[in-house]
Amino acid sequence: MWVMKVGGGCLRDVEAVRQLPMVLQAAYPEARRLLVVSAFGKTTNRLVALAESAARADLSAAHRVFGEIQAFHREMVEGLFPFPTAEALWKRLEEKYWQGLWQRVQALAHLGEADGAATDAILVYGELLSSEIVAAYLSGQGFPLEWIDARRLLVTDGAYPEPEVLLGPSQANVDAQLVPLFRTHRLVITQGYIASDLRRRSVTLGREGSDYSAALFAQLLNAQGMIAWKDVGRLYSADPRTYPDAQPLPELSYAQAAEMTYYGAQVLHPRTLKPLRDARIPLYILSYFEPEAEGSLIAEKWVDPLPPIRATRKGLLLIEVESVDLSPLSLGELLQGLEAEGIEVYFAQGGRRTAALAVQGPQDSLERWRTTLPAGWEVQLRQPVTLSTVLYPSENFPLPNGEALYLQRLPDRIHWLTYEI
């Protein structure tokens, strides 16, 4: 059993979707495979814009965005299928999805304000539409397959914006509904990013959550391995578009890959690795457009040595705390308070009377946290800032010049903060 995930960057247009049969033929064609599909291209971004328009009760703008989403998918359908087949598929999508999506938009507009559950009910349509079209295309290309709605399988606690997946109910659903499909078909298609809560409402797993979905399915199926097909089909020590001397990374441990993603490497969703690590399932990152090319393997084995690895996390909030009454600050107390509010801390540096932290979290959570601080502690918030990180730097690795607001050098990493331009 293999789990394979294909992201929206790979399924960005008609020609890219036509690549999928070759990808499937290149990797374990005789094995049972679960294909986890993302929304096409930038569809999720368009759906976010659609939901935002609806939340403002701006149905005119919402209708325009809705039309753009429809036109893009119509172009995909007409490019992938001959006329009679395309018309029949489009009619089915109209009845099954498009009418329901516009009803969700109208319901959110009636609320007239942002609502997590109502927004998620709109965002799930990207993966549902893409997986239906992909399934129809692969079936027409001679792949016997089954299709299943991931919302019937993955169950969450419904928290917003990144719910916790409940493994017990999800395992029961996978055993009862997904596993039997593999008795008659070697290929099953489902969706990434989407799930349900205990009340069977649609939820999403956070942006870029399709990798996480695939990892969960791999764990629940006790898969032999997971393949993440990417448009950039391997890991590098830095973004090769920014650093031409970036080196390929053929192999990393789970922990090393987790460090990269935590500090901003845009290869995997940060939560992807834990289910795979827990089940000791190897993850292969391979090129969607060159499926025979060498990729990268993430597994248990610690890899040493590694070249310096650069990662960047943008859009953070810089918190500077000062004890104006000269009472000692406790960095640990500050961190515990932020954690209790669900605020992610990526950088922390403190002394007896001052501390600096780079964080990411909802504004209302930050305001609640501020109210818990002693009266003698003064807080300044500065945003946005960028955290640059170098993991495993050499002893003579050049430090940033004077634009760094804060610099922290540890034995195995260097961090520095700068204002975003």
d(CA 306, CA 317): 30
Query: How confident is the model at residue 128, as a pLDDT?
Result: 98
Query: How confident is the model at residue 50, as a pLDDT?
Result: 98
Query: How confident is the model at residue 112, as a pLDDT?
Result: 82
- Tell me the pairing of strands 235-236 and 248-249: antiparallel
- Tell me the pairing of strands 225-230 and 2-6: parallel
- Tell me the pairing of strands 413-419 and 406-410: antiparallel
Query: How confident is the model at residue 304, as a pLDDT?
Result: 93
Query: How confident is the model at residue 1, as a pLDDT?
Result: 96
d(CA 77, CA 21): 16
**CA-based nearest residue to 249, from 260, 236, 239:** 236
Say whether the peptide bond before residue 248 is cis (omega within 30 degrees of 0). no
Query: Is residue 176 classed exposed, middle or buried when 0-12, 13-18 and 19+ CB atoms within 10 A define those classes?
Result: exposed
What fold characterizes domain 2-299? Carbamate kinase (3.40.1160)
3-state SS assignment for residue 369: helix
Query: How confident is the model at residue 396, as a pLDDT?
Result: 87
Query: How confident is the model at residue 256, as a pLDDT?
Result: 95
Domain map of the chain by residue range?
Answer: 2-299, 309-419
d(CA 338, CA 357): 10
**CA-based nearest residue to 184, from 221, 134, 146:** 146
Query: How confident is the model at residue 327, as a pLDDT?
Result: 86
Half-sphere exposure of residue 42, counting CA atoms within 13 Å on the CB side? 6
Query: How confident is the model at residue 44, as a pLDDT?
Result: 96
Domain 309-419 belongs in CATH node 3.30.2130.10 = yes
Instruction: Give Cβ neighbours of residue 86 (< 8 Å, ≥ 6 apart).
Output: 77, 78, 80
Query: How confident is the model at residue 268, as a pLDDT?
Result: 82
Amino acid at 92: R
Query: How confident is the model at residue 208, as a pLDDT?
Result: 73
Query: How confident is the model at residue 405, as a pLDDT?
Result: 93
Instruction: Give Cβ neighbours of residue 97 (< 8 Å, ≥ 6 apart).
Output: 125, 128, 129, 132
Q: Do residues 76 and 16 touch, judged by C-beta distance below 8 A?
A: no
d(CA 115, CA 168): 28
Low-confidence ranges of the chain (pLDDT < 70): none
